[in-house]
Each structure stands twice: as C-alpha cells, then as structure tokens.
Structure 1
Amino acid sequence: MRGRRLGVGALVALPFLLGAAAGSPGPEGAPAFRFADPAIVESSGLAVVDGLVVTVNDSGDSGRVFAVDPGTGRTVGVTSWPEDPVDVEALAPAGPGHVWVGDIGDNRRVRDSVEVLRVPVGRGDRSVAPEAYELVYPDGPRDAEALVRHPLTGRLFVVTKGVFSGTVYAAPPRLLPDRPNRLTEVGGAPGLVTDATFLPGGGGVVLRTYSTAHLVAFPSWQPEEAWDLPDQDQGEGVAPTRRHLLASTEGARSEVLEVALPARARQVDLGAPAWTALRWLATALAQPLT
C-alpha cells in the first residue's frame, strides 16, 4: 500500500507546483527569452509542449508552426502543411508532441465556419497533412483569438473577441473531421481577449487582453481575479509553465516575459471537480485497511 499511496499523492501534488511560487502579481514581468528566428514576426499564439514553446504567426503567414527552445530562444523545429490558413490566431496543447492550431480569426465576421487542426510539433522540420475540423457558431460568425483545451478531458473551447465582452463556446466532446462541428455557448468573457490558457489542474482559466489577465473558474467561467500585465507592443500570447505564465507579443525578435500568478490561482485550479474527486480518492486510499 505504501507505493500505491505515494503514486496517488504525487498525482494530487502536481497542481501545488502552480502555487509554490505564486504571489501577488505586479505590472512588471521578468524576461524569459527572446524569439531569435526572423521568421517569427507576429507571434499570435503560445503553447508549451514537451518542454518547448510553440508559436504561430498571425494572419498572412503560410501554414506552419514554430517549436522554440526556451533556453536559447532559437527555433528547433518547424512543422508546415500545404494549405494556407485564413487567419490563424491561437494554439492549444493537444497531447504529447501535438498542438491544436486555431484558424479562428474573422475580423469582418464573414466566415461561415472556422477550423482547428491537430499538428505534430517538436525538434526537426517536417511537412504534414493534418486533419482539419470545421467549427460552426450557433449564432452567426464571430471573431476569436483564443482557443483552450481542458487538460483532463481534452475538450476544446473558443473564446471570442468582442470589443466590450466576449463569449465562450464549447466544441463537441468528440470532433468529427467530415462534417461541421457545432459550438455551444457556455459562458461569458471580458472584451478584447487575445489568448487564453487552462491552468494545469483544469479548474481555472487565464484570459488575457492586451493589458490585463483575468482568472476565471471552470466550469462556471465566473471571474475570480484580474491583474495588470506588463506593457507589451501587442500582447497576444499566454501559456502556463509549472510556476508562472509566459506572455508574448507580436513583433520581430519580440521578448517573451514570465508573469507571476496570484495566490488565488492555486485555490481556483484545485477547485476543479476532477481534482476534488481525486483528492477524495487519495484520502480514501491512505486510510489503513481494517
């Protein structure tokens, strides 16, 4: 039973890494690294996959994503595909060695549907033919720049970019590649959301605007706390590390910053129903047998 208890205990302890270094965030961020690749000129989405930072250029680029070594800022792999996207705006982790690419931008609100692609990433260049999944809003075209994936269930959510407020839409639990996948409205969001990310436990989401980070609870999508982000030319990326947030901006050779999380983030993230059940299971397994 000792090994069994340790295994579950380690799993339950994972989200506590989030709160270990969390404090009261200030308006200043610490430099993490600078994109060294001159091809990364409009970093518009950010994800951390297998220790690498993955980013994608804003609209106008070909179909490609960049895997960057955060220790050096150098690109160590580029994944490309032949079809040019319409307006890629976001990335989300898609399991080991993969990201979801969100071709979800629609400034003029004229697209009948948008799409997401599951793309392999890592060290080394590769050309792929990723499966594309069509997404359709229930109430007409919307502009969006944020795509998130729940770390436990894998479900995708799109957060739209309204001037004064946005809307959160859930994709079906299982995406089908050969037909439209209808989105469902599940919550509200602040205005001008340019990216978002789930926290590791799945109980909290950070929504970023150009100047502010908003912590919301999942699955209620209710606001919990907001704080100022460091000044950036056009902040459009956010991703979690084990202890901080990474915040990126558009611009050639732009700098990625480390931003502290509020102490409240740990409490919200551990409030996820899945983690609540897991903690109950860990407690039960730790009890002596009678």
Structure 2
Amino acid sequence: MNAGADIILQVQSCAQLKDSERQSWNPPLCSETFSEIGDECSLVCKDGYELTGSDTVSCTADGWNGTGGLNKIPICKTPEEVGEDFVNKINSTLNGIAANMLFLLDESVSVSPQQFEMEKYFVKSVAQAFPLSVNRTAGLITFSHVADVDIPLTQTDTCVFVDSVGNVVYTEGGTSILVALNLAIDEIEKNAVHNTTLVFLVTDGISTTDPAPAADTLKANGDIVFTIGIADYQRDQLEPLATVASDGTPNFFGVSSFEVFLRIAQYLNTTYIDENQINCD
C-alpha cells in the first residue's frame, strides 16, 4: 500500500529544482524537495547574472510550466551568455532565408540621452553581427508617444546603415508601444523587400497603450517579433508581444539595467566583427 502511495506521489510531483553559485529558488523548499501540483517557484539571480526564461514556474501534472514553455526550467546567465542566446535565436529564425530587420527604439523621457546612445550601439552591433545585403535589409523607427521612421526599411549596406543609426537624434516624450508597432506594420507594407521581417522592439518602460493587437497583426502577417526589456520594463506586457520560437520559448529578453544591455551589445560587437570581417568604426 505504501509503495503504491509512493508511486502516486511521484506522478503528482515535479522534480527538485537546483540552486547554484548563480541562482537560488524561492521559497527554499523548491530546491530542497519535490514540489506538488499547484506549487509555484521563483528564480532569483545573484549579482552579475541575468534571468533567462520564466521568472516563476508552476508544478503541473505534465511537469514544470511557465511563460518560457513546458519543462523549460529558467536559469541565470552572464550578459555575454544572454548575448549568445540572442544570436542563436536570430540564426534559428533566419535559417538561411532572405529577410528584413526593423528596429524600434524607445526614446521616451525615461530613457536618458546616454542610454539612447546605448540603444543605437546595440542596433549597430546587431547589424554588424548579421551584415546587410540584397538578401537582408534594415530600417529603424524611434518612438515615444509618437513614432517616426528614421531609416526606411530599404538599407542594404551595413556601414551606411550603421552611419545612419549614429546620426539619429534623441527626442523625448511618453511611451506608446502601440504607435511604434502600428508604424512598423505600415513601414513593412510600404518598403519590405522580403516576405519576412524581424521586428526588434527595445524599451525600458510601460506602454500607455495596449500594443497587443498590433503585435498580433505582425505575427499574422508572418513577421517575427523580438521584444527586449531593459530595467523598469513590464514583463507581462512585453513577453506576450514576442513571437514564440520553434522550441516553444518566446523571443523575449529582459535585462536588469542599461549597463547590462551595453555589455550584451559590446559582446555582439567584439565577437562578430572579426568573424564577419566588417568594422564600420
């Protein structure tokens, strides 16, 4: 009888989670014993590490589940490792196809001029990691409570695009992700050269408008949405906007500060400039 009870307990529980020098689980019981169906566990990253995957997972009859996908256990990584994950996501999305890349940069009042320069540096780094050509175009939109096309989605020369990004001027205002995504839809319809566009939304704030309908339109059109939240972003707003990748995880990245965001951009820049033999500096 006791053996049968043990078997039932095994079926109705989730595996013990693991603490490490990078991370710990809350409540502590999550890493001390098996969890029962309905239990929730949150991952806490130690200094110097960033959360990748769900911030909270729940024990279900099918295993651990969270916004990162069923049985996708979140872990804490260095900024450089997050940067490599970002590159891998783009590579698996492109997979040899011709595509456009459209960057949406937040320039609302919560973003300082120095932080806006970090956003621009990130765009330059991505463009040099994934060089432009006739098979890969790029463009740039900036947004606050309004949005503007600063660089049309027609650029095919990496260094010309990088120079153009450097010349984008900072302004400030509120935060409306909806207007940014709506303008992205218009720009793709007007200027997209290829059937698929990778849309990279970078923001540090909370949208005053509901961006979900516009994100749904982009996805329905076959475009791929990446969302990147920095510092005081709202995860439950940004993560659902992202396209879910083939491995079941959303194309969402959240980092704790602009300093970490800059480290990721620097990693992309230093790692891939030599590999691609492109240096626009």
* Same fold, judged at TM 0.5 (above): no
Q: Based on CA coordinates, which of the two structures has the bigger radius of gyration?
A: 2
Higher relative contact order (CA 8 A, sep 6+): 1
| TM-score using structure 2 length | 0.29
- Higher helix fraction: Structure 1 or Structure 2? 2
